[in-house]
Structure 1
Amino acid sequence: MITLCLLRLPVTIALIASALIGGLHSGLDTHQAIAALNDNLLIGAQVGMTYIMIGAFAVALARSGILDLFAMKVTHMMGSSETHTHGRVKWFLYGVFMLCSVLSQNAVPVHIAFIPVMIPPLLGIFNRLRIDRRAVACILACAISSSYLLLPTGFGAIYLNEILLENVNKVGADQGLNVTASMVPQAMFLPVMGIITGMLVALFVTYRKPRDYKATPDIHPTPPQARRLSMPQLVMTILAIGVALVCQIYFDSLLVGSMIGFMLLAFAGIFRWDEQDDVFTQGMRMMVQISVIITIASGFAGVLEATGEIQPLVSAAASWIGDNRPLAAALMLLVGLFITIGFGDSFASVPILAPIYIPLALTLGFSPMATVALLGASAALGDAGSPASTITLGATSGLNADGQHDHVRDSVIPTFMHANFGMIVFAWVAAMIL
């Protein structure tokens, strides 16, 4: 599976093909391998459906024009104010990007949809301030990753509760492992501190110096669907965001919160009533790839379990490693990095890694908290820094609006170095001390 992903085969094909090859190699016939794949799709499909609803809500918010309004206000404030020093303006923008990144994952679950709307109108300001756009890419990647890995609302609720906690308890049930929801953020605290440390290194050391870009006209890529908000519509849009957040917390369901938010935006007249299907379809199109990958990844994990080869693999690995837990933790983190780099999504990596990592960690004597930290960090490594990650693709879509920001050199490599190296070190420490 890793090899096929690195060869740039579509991730869905890589997962299905490698699952069937592994099943056949273990002695299952074709029908048994396909049945094992199909029987486990439901778990991933439930999460995938949530992603589709989030996509619809994100498109509805984009059509409201609220993100464009915010970007225009910031641009106007920066352009008209002569009293601020360049340093103050730069750090104000950095703070805004950090805040928006956190909100986009936990409070207003639009994921990376805010980046191509908010960033391009500010590129002229970046050029005058001589901001290194690689620093902005690191802020976006590190802040987005940190928020969903630590805060259990929005996308954090999906990753921490619906995926990580669910897989840990399901796979660890036979070995008496029982992890509560409150334990998961505690276990992920140190790995997240590694990401934040990497972001600070990027801002204060690596990309601290000014960088010059060609002067270009200000870019205001307001989507043709976006409309000027009347005051009642602005109030209803803010209300829809607040109600969506309250509902997702009250019902413990991001699916329900996003659906209610979408309906409120429709009733507010943000888009015409007969455009609902179009908005929903656009949202589905935006999220369908990650939804399909998560669904197929659950089937892949099901085939691994059906082969009956996981326990022998775990026993052999434990025998080879012996009592060297530091080496085991390092190897598990590095393997997780390669897997997630392959297809760029930490949410889909958990069900792939869980059937092997959890028995192995428990066999080697890691505590439940250390086991959660190892699995959660291993699956998240590479999400920020993969060429195929929605995070790096989103950063590039905004920062390259004027053609001066290369995806690999200016987004992938900087975010890979600063988000992942620190996380590996801090996650390894967490595995040793928890």
Structure 2
Amino acid sequence: MNAVVVAVLVMLVLSLLRTPVVVALVLGALSAGLLAGMGLEGTLEAFSSGLGGGAGVALNYAMLGGFAVAIAQSGLPHAMADVVQRKLGTGEVQATRAVKYALIVVLVTVAISSQNLIPIHIAFIPLLVPPLLLVMSRMQLDRRLVACVLTFGLVTPYMFLPVGFGGIYLNDILLQNVADNGQSIEGINIMSAMWIPALGMLVGLILALFNYRKPRQYNVEKLQEAERVEVKYSPMRLAAVGVAVLVAFGVQLWTGSMVLGALSGYMICTLTGIVRWKQADGVLIDGMKMMAMIGFIMITAAGFAEVMRQTGEISTLVSSTAELIGDNKGLAALLMLVVGLLVTLGIGSSFSTIPIIAAIYVPLALSLGFSPLAIVALVGTAGALGDAGSPASDSTLGPTAGLNVDGQHHHIWDTVVPTFLHYNLPLLIAGWAAAMLL
């Protein structure tokens, strides 16, 4: 059996059994390396060589965690919660729904904007979401819905809109690799090729809004204990933390560094007295502890992905599917998408999947008579499949980082499984439809 398939299955099954994701990734990598004949020493060497790939992102999250705790110290979560509480205190169901859906609209808008208008990707989540948790808890808003909303905003724009990160994915990676492997891209409108897969993502979001519409209770006291906030707040403190957030985003856009952005915001919180100087060290450490799980998963996922690459069996998996297809276009489209799903679930990156699969799938699709638009849609969807629903993807790790600050949101069962079911399955169907109809 293919080592990559085994590794992904081991990782997913262990994760679903509530084995810590870091342990699941390590055991999955070991199973792949040993099955591929790399030996224990070779597997560990490959795993270790890949760890550095996740270290930078882990440091980013550690600093963002410290800044997030500083924001909590300002009393901003309680200020937001008090406003909502006054709305909810009216006893009007319509008012409650209005606030809830207004919050959802804000989150999905910010998530979409983070991919293009303000290209900060997942950096906004640890800063924006934790202050809103108290509001969500009092409204009994299901955090699984919030995870699905955030993941929709992180994935759909780059696979449909050719601006920001979408410009990189669609133009620089997808179209370039399609052209490099023999398909002319002259006259191709990328949005015409990807609108059906994007529609599949929208259907998934609508299903999530329906499936997670019921109230879900969370322990507010546990949340307040995790935040360790000062309940008292003042207009000056709220203004100062607003400036800190704006400066953090501005510095990141200017320098391209999440670390410098978070550090700038944190220093403003310290200098304005939101975080007392004597407590500054403790607040930063608390924030790093809060993000420690996410950081370790990202580092371990980078090692896991490197083992997958060094087994040499990703290309074997892709080419072996080509041998099974024959002349059946429907089966060809389905198998290409499923293999793309497996590869992206394992390495956690759509951007890295495209070059791997395009080398074989583009010539194969040409030989089977797929149209240029269908080929672009097929390869683009095969790459995007698995970004939502992968335990190692930043599209799932980001939402968990913001929603699990109080330990009441499980990464696998509250983020990974919901996003997998609501996005990968509709996207699989929509991608297949696009390949057959375009």
TM-score, reference length from structure 2 = 0.70
Let me know the Cα RMSD of the aligned residues: 4.8
The DSSP-based 3-state class of the residue aligned with 2:103 is: helix
CA distance in 2, matches of 1:45, 1:233: 33
Q: Is the 8 A contact 1:58 1:109 kept in 2?
A: no
Deviations, residues 23-63 of structure 1 (Å, cap 9, x unaligned): 34434344433332233332222222222222222222222
Q: Is the 8 A contact 1:70 1:118 kept in 2?
A: yes
CA distance in 2, matches of 1:419, 1:94: 20
Q: Which residue of 1 aligns with 2:267?
A: 263
Question: Please, which of 141, 146, 152 is the counterpart of residue 140 of structure 1?
Answer: 146
CA positional deviation for 1:96: 1.7
Q: Which residue of 2 aligns with 1:14?
A: 24
Deviations, residues 296-322 of structure 1 (Å, cap 9, x unaligned): 222233233333343333322211124
CA distance in 2, matches of 1:48, 1:286: 12
Deviations, residues 177-219 of structure 1 (Å, cap 9, x unaligned): 9x9xxx999987654543333333454x6677xx6999x9997
CA distance in 2, matches of 1:297, 1:170: 27
Q: Which residue of 1 aligns with 2:382?
A: 374
Q: Specify every segment of 5 or more residues in structure 2 that has no aligned partner in the other structure, as ranges.
A: 1-6, 366-373
Question: Please, which of 138, 144, 160 is the counterpart of residue 121 of structure 1?
Answer: 138
Q: Which residue of 1 aligns with 2:125?
A: 110
* 1:36 to 2:51 alignment: no
Deviations, residues 335-365 of structure 1 (Å, cap 9, x unaligned): 66678889xxxx8355885675444434534
* 1:2 to 2:8 alignment: yes
CA distance in 1, matches of 2:81, 2:383: 38
What are the equivalent positions in structure 2 for 1:234-245 lying under 5 Å apart? 234-245=238-249
CA distance in 1, matches of 2:419, 2:136: 17
CA positional deviation for 1:249: 2.3
Deviations, residues 219-267 of structure 1 (Å, cap 9, x unaligned): 7954433353333322121111112222222333333322222222222
Question: Please, which of 65, 69, 91 is the counterpart of residue 59 of structure 1?
Answer: 69
Q: Count the aligned residue pairs.
A: 397
2:235 maps to amino acid: M
CA distance in 2, matches of 1:213, 1:25: 43
CA distance in 1, matches of 2:61, 2:171: 18
Deviations, residues 56-94 of structure 1 (Å, cap 9, x unaligned): 222222222212211111111332x47xx6335413321
Deviates more, 1:234-243 or 1:248-257: 248-257
Q: Cα 1:255–1:169, aligned 2, differ >3 Å: closer, same or farther?
A: farther
Deviates more, 1:102-111 or 1:262-271: 102-111
Q: Cα 1:376–1:316, aligned 2, differ >3 Å: closer, same or farther?
A: same
Using the aligned pairs only, state the percent identity. 29
What are the equivalent positions in structure 2 for 1:359-398 lying under 5 Å apart? 359-365=359-365, 367=375, 370-381=378-389, 391=399
Q: Cα 1:212–1:89, aligned 2, differ >3 Å: closer, same or farther?
A: closer
Q: Is the 8 A contact 2:96 2:139 kept in 1?
A: no
Question: Please, which of 78, 86, 98 is the counterpart of residue 93 of structure 2?
Answer: 86
Q: Which residue of 1 aligns with 2:3?
A: none
TM-score, reference length from structure 1 = 0.70
Q: Specify every segment of 5 or more residues in structure 1 that has no aligned partner in the other structure, as ranges.
A: 124-132, 402-406
Q: Which residue of 2 aligns with 1:404?
A: none
Q: Cα 1:199–1:369, aligned 2, differ >3 Å: closer, same or farther?
A: closer
What are the equivalent positions in structure 2 for 1:28-427 lying under 5 Å apart? 28-79=38-89, 81=90, 86-87=93-94, 89-100=96-107, 102-103=109-110, 106=114, 109-111=124-126, 112-114=129-131, 116-123=133-140, 136-137=142-143, 139-150=145-156, 191-201=197-207, 203=209, 222=224, 223-322=227-326, 324=328, 326-331=330-335, 333-334=337-338, 348=348, 350=350, 356-365=356-365, 367=375, 370-381=378-389, 391=399, 417-427=421-431
CA positional deviation for 1:271: 1.1
Q: Is the 8 A contact 1:22 1:304 kept in 2?
A: yes
CA distance in 1, matches of 2:289, 2:296: 11
Q: Cα 1:257–1:411, aligned 2, differ >3 Å: closer, same or farther?
A: closer
CA distance in 2, matches of 1:142, 1:381: 10
